[in-house]
């Protein structure tokens, strides 16, 4: 079987490629940037923009199954950039899947597509999209997810996975930002303590995608459906962050901002950055404040019974692995650009 993984240079994409390689699949990946570490996997590495139809058509020649992991993440920036990377790219992929007769498409979405600014506690896949989105990323991911699910039919089997806050050794985005801010004494909790979050360890996120590969077929129980993916161990965000800092041998965070104060600061920062056309992300945005002030954990029944997904690495074991990795210097200490 020849499998394409878009976004193989990213945290999840790279880990997924390694797992698929271990299973003996023939692999291809396409990315906009250059990632030397991909060459070490002995796979076919392509470069190009998925928003370009011709690029997608050439890249997917000979592919049997597609993992569409690539996306533009973030909580700030012009809508157009998110549209091209998340929606237009997905439209191109779906079109080419039809043209080339590709039978399986596994899409990596995000739980943020259902987030409307309020607590999400033990919610399941029946949770609707919010009437209004708080950032371009969840809005465009939601639209792309809808396109993928609507494409499921007798010729193409599709499924959408929503892994939540993927973390672990090798992360160049979430963990380095936490560690960098904490080392500069700039990290604060927001809102009332005790809001539980279900973050998923990288190996478990990969396992969920492998489960989808094994069970996805035209007409199967998971085709045309969406699944929340977590570690199934919701715990307060305070505990998660301080456990990460403990693994990094950094002091615990105890200071906290009220939701109202943080929201005001985020609003002022967004206004300032917009007025002066500053392209970089503000230190705080309203979407970030809302996320940090609310609970996010999901009912695992559907992912267990239909997808067959059960996390193999506990949060405790994950923190231990992270500590070992940081001590060996394998996880970047600064966020990637």
Of these residues, 82, 107, 137, 201, which one is catalytic? 137
What are the counts of helices (DSSP H) followed by strands (DSSP E) for the chain?
13, 13
Q: What is the DSSP letter of 167?
A: B
Give the DSSP H/E element, type plus range, for residue 190.
strand 189-190
CB neighbour class for 186 (10 Å; exposed up to 12, middle 13-18, buried from 19): exposed
Q: Is 271 exposed, middle or buried (0-12, 13-18, 19+ CB in 10 A)?
A: exposed
| Rg (alpha carbons) of the chain, rounded to whole number | 19
Query: Does residue 310 carry a catalytic annotation?
Result: no
The phi, psi pair for 169, rounded to 5°, reads: -55, 135
Q: How many residues does the chain have?
A: 337
Strand ranges of the sheet holding 235-236, from the earlier edge strand across to the other edge: 120-123, 296-298, 196-197, 235-236
What is the SS3 string spanning 68-136?
Answer: ECCCCCCCCCCHHHHHHHHHHHHHHHHHHHHHHCCCEEEEECCHHHHCCCCCEEEECCCCCCCCCCCCH
Q: Please name the residues in contact with 21: beta carbons below 8 A apart, sequence gap of 6 or more.
A: 27, 41, 42, 43
User: Which residues are the active-site residues?
Assistant: 137
């Amino acid at each position: 079987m020849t499998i394409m993984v878009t976004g193989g240079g990213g945290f999840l994409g790279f880990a997924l490629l390694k797992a698929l390689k271990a299973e003996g699949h023939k692999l291809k990946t396409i990315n906009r940037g250059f990632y030397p570490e991909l060459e070490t996997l002995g796979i076919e590495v392509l470069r190009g923009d998925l928003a370009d139809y011709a690029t997608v058509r050439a890249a997917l020649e000979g592919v049997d199954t597609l993992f569409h992991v690539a996306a533009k993440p973030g909580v700030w920036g012009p809508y157009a950039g998110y549209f091209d990377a998340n929606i237009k790219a997905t439209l191109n992929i779906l079109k080419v899947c039809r043209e080339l007769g590709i039978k399986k498409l596994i899409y990596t979405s995000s739980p943020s597509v259902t987030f409307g600014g309020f607590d999400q506690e033990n919610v399941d896949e029946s949770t609707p999209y919010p009437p209004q989105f708080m950032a371009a990323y969840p809005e465009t991911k939601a639209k792309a997810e809808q396109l993928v699910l609507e494409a499921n039919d007798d010729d193409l089997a599709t499924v959408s996975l929503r892994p939540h806050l993927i973390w672990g050794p090798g992360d160049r985005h979430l963990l380095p930002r936490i560690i960098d801010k904490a080392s500069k004494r700039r990290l604060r909790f927001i809102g009332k303590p005790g809001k539980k979050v279900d973050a998923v360890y990288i190996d478990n996120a990969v396992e969920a995608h492998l489960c989808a590969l094994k069970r996805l077929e035209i007409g199967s129980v998971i085709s045309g459906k969406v699944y929340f993916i977590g570690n199934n161990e919701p715990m307060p965000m305070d505990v998660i962050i301080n456990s990460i800092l403990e693994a990094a041998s950094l002091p615990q965070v105890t200071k906290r901002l009220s939701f109202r104060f943080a929201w005001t600061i985020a609003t002022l920062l967004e206004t300032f950055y917009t007025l002066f056309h500053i392209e970089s992300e503000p230190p705080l945005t309203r979407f970030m404040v809302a996320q940090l002030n609310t609970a996010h954990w999901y009912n695992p029944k559907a992912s267990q019974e239909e997808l067959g997904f059960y996390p193999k690495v506990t949060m405790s074991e994950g923190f231990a692995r992270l500590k070992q990795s940081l001590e060996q210097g394998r996880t970047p200490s600064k966020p990637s650009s």
